[in-house]
Amino acid sequence: MDTTNPIVSYQYQVLRYRPDAVSGEFVNVGLVYYDPTQRLLKAKMVDKYKRISQFFTDVPGTFLLRSLKQLGNNAQQLSRQLEQELDFQKYQTIEQVTASLLPKDDNGLYFSETFRGIHFDHEASFRELYHRIVEQYLEQPIERHDDAYAWRHVYKSFFDKYQLTDKLEHKTVKTATDTFEFERAVQNGALHCFQTVSFDLKNEAEVKNKIYLWNARIEELKTAEQAVKLYLLTLLPENRELVELLQKKLDIDGGSVEVELVRESGAEKVVREVVERLEGGH
């Protein structure tokens, strides 16, 4: 029997950075790769702040890179222990490995679900996975239309035009099991909250995740005692099916929570109507 190139199996998880749990947007910043039968552990993390900052504004670069470097060092140390069979029984799965490397609530860093595969060579497999999952999305600068971009470059000008920007306040909404923070809101009978939400993302799965996240958030808002009118100031995806899904899940009329999806083309009308209500006291 030819054993020159025996097939090897492996497990891996992707390390992701998500600065805002509400938006749901993330970027892949590392890879942990494990073969428990051979006690082989490999890990690699992004080591350039610029690569992450092109995805998100206001990234705490020094802290994030320090955290990634420490994660990489911890993985190397654990890899050496496994090679020496120290504490091997504690790490039969990659979930046990990554749980020891990173607490669940570590300032935006978290591990993905577990994936599995087979290959003929661990080194080649790890290199190919890291390039496909992490490097290729960070190699070339891209214009990232995130939530902050939507406010600064699209919607803020309408609020400035009608002198509403300075009247916006931070408001807290308490629900049955949670508390939600809105940075831009005005109280006039119902609480009017303005939330920029960009669905203009490169990855279709990322768009869907963000839609379902906001759908769940709105369902929780329905348990609040106060009436809420939520304006989602959106950047929409190009895919028509995703736009239809977004409208189906997020455009809600009636009940204690009313949600209005706002596009750039309709922003001025919405802002003008809110100002008129405030001035009219109703």
pLDDT digits (tens, 9 = 90+) for 227-254: 999 999 999 888 889 999 999 999 877 6
Q: Are strands 228-235 and 257-262 parallel, antiparallel or unpaired?
A: parallel
Fold of 147-280: Trna Endonuclease; Chain: A, domain 1 (3.40.1350)
User: For residue 54, what pLDDT band results from cuts at 50, 70 and 90?
Assistant: low
Give the pLDDT of residue 59.
62
Query: Could you tell me the end-to-end alpha-carbon distance of the chain, in angstroms, rounded to an integer?
Result: 84
User: For residue 135, what pLDDT band results from cuts at 50, 70 and 90?
Assistant: confident
Give the pLDDT of residue 186.
95
Listed by start position, the domains of the chain span 8-137, 147-280
User: For residue 214, what pLDDT band results from cuts at 50, 70 and 90?
Assistant: very high
Give the pLDDT of residue 139.
59
Distance CA 251, CA 245 (A): 10
Look at residue 165 and tell me whether its pLDDT is greater than 90: yes
In contact, 185 and 193? CB cutoff 8 Å: yes
- The residue with greater pLDDT, 43 or 188, is 43
Give the pLDDT of residue 166.
93
Dihedral (Cα; 200, 47, 123, 131), 10-degree rounding: 20
Give the pLDDT of residue 1.
36
- Directed axis angle between helix 204-221 and helix 240-250, to 10°? 10
User: For residue 149, what pLDDT band results from cuts at 50, 70 and 90?
Assistant: confident
Q: Helices marked H in 146-236 — which ranges?
A: 147-150, 156-161, 204-221
Nearest 5°: CA angle at 19, between 143 and 172?
115
Give the pLDDT of residue 57.
53
Give the pLDDT of residue 143.
53
Closest CA to 36 of 109, 99, 90: 90
Q: Of all residues in the chain, what percent carry a pLDDT higher than 70? A: 85
What is residue 9's three-state secondary structure? strand
